[in-house]
Structure 1
Amino acid sequence: MSSTTNNLWIRRFRPAPDAAERLVCFPHAGGSASFYLPVANALSPGVDVAAIQYPGRQDRRHEPGPASVAELADQIVVALAEWDDDRPLTFFGHSMGALVAFEVARRMERTGSGPVRLFASGRRAPSRVRAEHVHTLDDDGVIKELRALAGTDAQVLQDEELLRMVLPAIRCDYRAVETYRCEPGAAVRCPVTVLTGDADPRTSLEEARAWSEHTAAGSDLRVFSGGHFFLSERPAEVLAVLHEHFTAAVRQT
């Protein structure tokens, strides 16, 4: 894939063909690539930001949603392999996206590539499992969960027709993440930076720290004030962490 075109899976809202670094962003359950438009606006042109568009939403709404995190990761690896340059990749995934990014990184590392760092945001470590069954609830139950986490666009939640249209994809996402189980000892070779909200009802600090068990290169934990979508509440603080990473990367080149 050329550095100026998008494929079905990858959206580049602010292409930065001269940037030395590339950030690949993975959305949360029910989320879309456009969630990361503010990140692209903030980091371009210094960083080329690519956001993954999962099937089952927006312009891909007529496609079936993901069957599993593993299947989704397999498909994204193929899409990322189409890049025709060798710029270093950094992964950023929020919630479900953190697990998808983790599995994509593991698959890429098997072929000798992979990201230089994984930012795992708003998600407990892959080995920390909770009994969650949002995907089995009726529509009203799923909507209640979306409102509780406050990560879905308020306009969507207020538009009954639009909400019913996107619920199948959201349910697929929840099924994929709630049935995910990582392999024993699964780890990436790159360092992991964990970002979490201090009031996140879905991830405790212990569960966030446990990401250290899933990397051979060390991890660090950044705690922000806020809930599950702290990154929407504290965008400047999250962007500062990314700026710190990319500034250090440029100095090392």
Structure 2
Amino acid sequence: MIGVTAPGMSAENRDGSTLLCVPFAGAGPSFFHPWRELSAGRWRVTSVELPGRERRFLETPYRNVVEAARTEVDAVAADLGPGARTVLFGHSLGAVLAYELVHLLSKRDVVVERLIVSGSPGPWTQRERRAAGLPDEEFLARVEEFAGFRHEALDHPEMRELILPALQADCEMHEAYVPSVDEPVSVPICSLRGSDDGLVTAAEAQQWQAATTGEFSYVEFPGDHMYLVDQGRAVLDVIERVCARGPAVPV
């Protein structure tokens, strides 16, 4: 099974571009399903589907970001198609995984037009506050503290048993992440952040400027680390403005 899930190309998709979304820790493609309608035909919205969740929940989750990118990139490129014009979006763990994918997709005839990173310090910043390795209850409390958000499914023992292994593996690989290469990408980068994010500071979010030789922009939204849960439409509006080289202003 390929590691990508997507609807067919919308008849309203105006320019044939794809918005490839890379989920945050513990999340699956379904988080981005509402974005298909919210995108209003601006892009074909697709998502990386990692092992350990949703259709791939029986597969062993990755514990290394670089390995995940290298293993999944061929399936991602095949879904996008040759010569595809693509915008990558990744939040938190998804931001660094998207960054690794940009390096790899450039060698597979995929035209990455822009990288949108969200809720993440620059790729060379080591994570000082950690949750990996803690007992289950302490781990969940630490993740909730970091994110300022707790998914209601974690309050149900059966669902938690399904979700917890992937969430723990994701946190482990995020906290241990070291970029595969030192060179920045040439793709323009826009960094997004919730204005009240207690996990990632504004200065850390702007470290992404050093990760590109191209254009860089920075936008803040009202909210905490998981601001995007309630602001999908606003995020898509900013992505559209940035990709059109319009002003990227806070919303």
2:217 is equivalent to residue 220 of structure 1? yes
Distance 1:234 1:81, change over 3 A: closer
Tell me by how many angstroms 1:245 deviates.
4.0
Partner of 1:153: 151
1:136 has 2:161 as partner: no
* Coordinate RMSD, CA, aligned: 2.1
Q: Is the 8 A contact 1:16 1:46 kept in 2?
A: no
Preserved CA contact (<8 Å) 1:119 1:195: yes
Aligned partners of 2:85 and 2:113 also within 8 Å: yes
Instruction: Answer whether contact 2:83 2:109 (CA < 8 A) is retained.
Output: no
Change (3 A) 1:108 1:8: closer
2:184 aligned with 1:187: yes
CA shift for structure 1 position 39:
1.1
In structure 1, the residue matched to 2:32 is: 36
TM-score, L = length of structure 1:
0.88
- Give the AA of the match of 1:205: A
Match of 1:197 among 177, 194, 199: 194
Structure 1 unmatched ranges of 5 or more: 1-6
CA drift at 1:244: 2.0
2:3 counterpart of 1:9? yes
| Identity in percent | 25
Specify which of 154, 167, 183 is matched with residue 170 of structure 1: 167
Q: 1:202 to 1:114 in 2, by over 3 A?
A: farther
- Letter paired with 1:35: F
SS in structure 1 of the partner of residue 112 of structure 2: coil
Does the 8 Å CA contact 1:14/1:41 hold for their aligned counterparts? Answer: no
AA in 2 matched with 1:63: E
Match of 2:249 in 1: none
Q: 1:43 to 1:136 in 2, by over 3 A?
A: same
AA aligned to 2:85 is P
In 2, Cα distance between equivalents of 1:132 and 1:170 = 16
Number of aligned residue pairs: 242
Cα deviation, residue 9, structure 1: 1.1
Gaps of 5+ in 2: 247-251
Equivalences for residues 20-35 of structure 1 within 5 A:
20-35=16-31
Q: Secondary structure at the match of 1:221?
A: strand
- TM-score w.r.t. length of structure 2: 0.88
